Amino acid sequence: MNLNYILSRLAQMIVVLVGVSVLIFVLTRVLPGDPVAAALGDRATVGQMAQLRAEMGLDLPLWQQYARFVTGLFSGNMGLSLVEKRDVSIVIAERLPATLELIFAALFIAIVVGVPLGVLAAVNRNGIIDQVSRVVALFGVSFPQFWVGIMLQLLMGLALAWLPITGRSSVPMPPAITGFLTIDSLVALDFTAFGNAIRHLICPALVLAAGPLATIMRMVRANMIDEFEKPYPELAQALGMHPFIINFKYVLRNAFTPTLTLIGFLIPIMIGSSFVVEKVFAWPGLARYGADAIMANDFNGVIGITLVICFFVVLLNLIVDLLYPIIDPRIRLGAEK
Amino acid sequence: MSERAASTAAAATPIEAVDAKLTTEPSYPRLRRFVRNRPAAIGSVCLALMFVVMIAWPWLVPYPDDVADAVNFDRMLEPPSLEFWFGTDEAGRDILTRIMAGTGMSLGLGLVVITCAIVIGVPVGMVAGYYGGWTERIIMRIVDVFSSVPALVLALAISVLLGPSLTNAMIALSIVWWRVFARIAHGQTLSLKSEPYVAIARQMGASDRHILFREILPNMASAILVTATLDAGAVILIGTSISFLGAGASPPAAEWGLMVASGRAYLPGSWWPSLFPGLAIFAAVMSLNMIGDGLRDFFAGE
């Protein structure tokens, strides 16, 4: 693979990360929100507030505060979280796997269900499957996730009682290796814990997957239909090739590149949605901590979370870009530059 | 005096004279073509009804006293009935009344945020695409920075930092959303500036401003309109989420996301206080999506 391309992308990543850190740093310092007032409450004296402000370095000039933050970052120190009373980096390390597990599970559902449905809808264009999928897609992108989460909890928790509706696990957890409960329990050969983890994942992952699933399905359908206009599917059919092979092996592969771009776009949206979904399902992840930190004006927490999220957004987008030439060998990365 | 004479002279370049004479074709056949798209027609009717409610709710609601902080101990958490179609909430207020009164908050949020985002984003994106070079590089890197933080996260943070309120949620969302239109305007300008009519306009002596706003902008209007309609729905979803999380409208406002949040405390026994406001959000966003999809198909067919 083109090494120069990857290096230039990594450089771009760093520029974006620096930009985001400056943006969020300036926003927290310039806008009226005050962490000290939020942490100490209304009864704190002026002296107490000034003391905490000095301890946190909030009385320094803006550029000195930023310099302190960056030097701290290089020693793996993101500053004290006022919500958790611990260093932000420790909280993030502890909670990141839960959020990643949820987002990967949702992305998995969205792709594994969305892509075949899109192919089916394209093959039966304007047929019953296509019409139903059109309506389902419209619903998928139109409902508020917090509301569907609550309704799903109501349905599952009371009427059906099939699945757990809050938290991540209700049995003793396997020893943490990756932090992903599904993987750790398999490594420990603890199948009860594995089943339990999967059952806890289903509801929040479904809510998180619905919108992306809908958009992926419509995107695959539209691009499959464009590919069907070309001569090669007809030729393959004339040669007696099985329709399943034509559709999934040849046409889908050619039609998949725009979907890959779409998945890159969907990742930040899904991370944003996880803030709401984790809150509704009491999922002990990074996003729930992030929402709490934002609500409490916990500056160090807000900056740490934003940077980690941004890092994953740019990293996953880089991975998506590196997948292009694997899926479609006609594409050469960095060739146009 | 001389300034005015100069500007008249500028307007009198041949290309601007031609532009001034061009009249748009009668729009009725196009309207008919749009309405023939059934989902788009249904969405338009729903949205029009919501706009009527948004303006006329004081005369339409069944229980005008229940809009804000009334407390009716005699009818708390009553299930839906003929008297209270959507039931009553924990303070005995009619939920239908409150949903109708809250229409303006969600639709208004969508409208204001999208308008601000277009006003900021489109000129910035056009300048980046038209002038290129360092201007473009710097502007597009800033757009990248804003795009790499999820919209909900950035808007939530800004809204809390400004102090939670519906107005601040709107400001926060506008700060977040301009990048969407900057990117579209940038891409459109890049492709439109190599069109022959732009080259001709330049040769005829048109100013950059004339080319940007009279030649390029009208030709990207359809792309902006489609995105504006679809994104108004997305903005409403995020706006109600911000209120749901407690960083937007505050009680006793009849904001839909806030109503779902406060109704949650009375689940599972009373499901109606959280069900119906959510359905209202759903109806508003779905109408906008149906219109947006219809507009996209409509412009693709031209």
Cβ contact (<8 Å) for A16 and B151? no
Q: How many residues does chain A have?
A: 337
For range B194-216, the mean pLDDT: 91
Instruction: Pick the closest to residue B213 from B198, B232, B229 (CA basis).
Output: B198
Tokens for A162, please give them: 């099939």
> What SS3 state is found at B94?
strand
For range B232-239, the mean pLDDT: 96
Q: How many CA atoms lie within 13 A of B81 on its CB side?
A: 8
> Which residues have C-beta within 8 Å of that of residue A30, sequence separation ≥ 6?
none
Cβ contact (<8 Å) for B153 and A271? yes
Cβ contact (<8 Å) for A144 and B244? yes
For every residue of B160-184, which 3-state class applies, written as one string? Answer: HHHCCCHHHHHHHHHHHHHHHHHHH
- Give helix B151-162 / helix A299-327 axis angle, nearest 10°: 160
pLDDT at A61 over 80: yes
Tokens for A33, please give them: 């929100």
> What SS3 state is found at B88?
strand
Mutate to test the interface with A, among B37, B241, B279, B291 (most CBs of A within 10 A): B241
Q: How many CA atoms lie within 13 A of A206 on its CB side?
A: 14
Maximum pairwise Cα distance, chain B: 77
A154 CA: distance to closest CA in chain B (Å): 6
Residue with the bigger pLDDT between A1 and A141: it is A141
pLDDT at B234 over 90: yes
User: What is the pLDDT, as a whole number, of residue B14?
Assistant: 58
Tens-digit pLDDT profile for residues A191-222: 888 888 999 999 999 999 999 999 999 999 99
User: What is the pLDDT, as a whole number, of residue B295?
Assistant: 92
User: What is the pLDDT, as a whole number, of residue A120?
Assistant: 93
Q: Please tell me the distance from the alpha carbon of residue A209 to that of residue A203, in angstroms, as a whole number.
A: 10
* B144 contacts in chain A (CB < 8 Å): 12, 16, 19
For every residue of B227-273, which 3-state class applies, written as one string? Answer: HHHHHHHHHHHHHHHHHHHCCCCCCCCCCHHHHHHHHHHHCCCCCHH
User: What is the pLDDT, as a whole number, of residue B302?
Assistant: 65
Q: From the list A154, A276, A294, which residue is nearest B271 (CB)?
A: A154
User: What is the pLDDT, as a whole number, of residue B52?
Assistant: 96
* B157 contacts in chain A (CB < 8 Å): 24, 27-28, 294, 302, 306
Q: Please tell me the distance from the alpha carbon of residue A303 to that of residue A294, in angstroms, as a whole number.
A: 9
Q: Please tell me the distance from the alpha carbon of residue A283 to that of residue A286, in angstroms, as a whole number.
A: 9
Instruction: Pick the closest to residue B244 from A279, A140, A288 (CA basis).
Output: A279
Q: Is residue A273 exposed (0-12), middle (13-18) or buried (19+ Cβ within 10 Å)? A: buried
Supply the pTM of this predicted model: 0.90
> What SS3 state is found at A87?
strand
User: What is the pLDDT, as a whole number, of residue A334?
Assistant: 64
Complex-level ipTM: 0.91
Per CATH, domain A88-327 is 1.10.10.10: no
Mutate to test the interface with A, among B38, B146, B153 (most CBs of A within 10 A): B153
Tokens for A58, please give them: 């909030």
For range B282-294, the mean pLDDT: 95
Report the amino acid identity of residue B299.
Answer: F
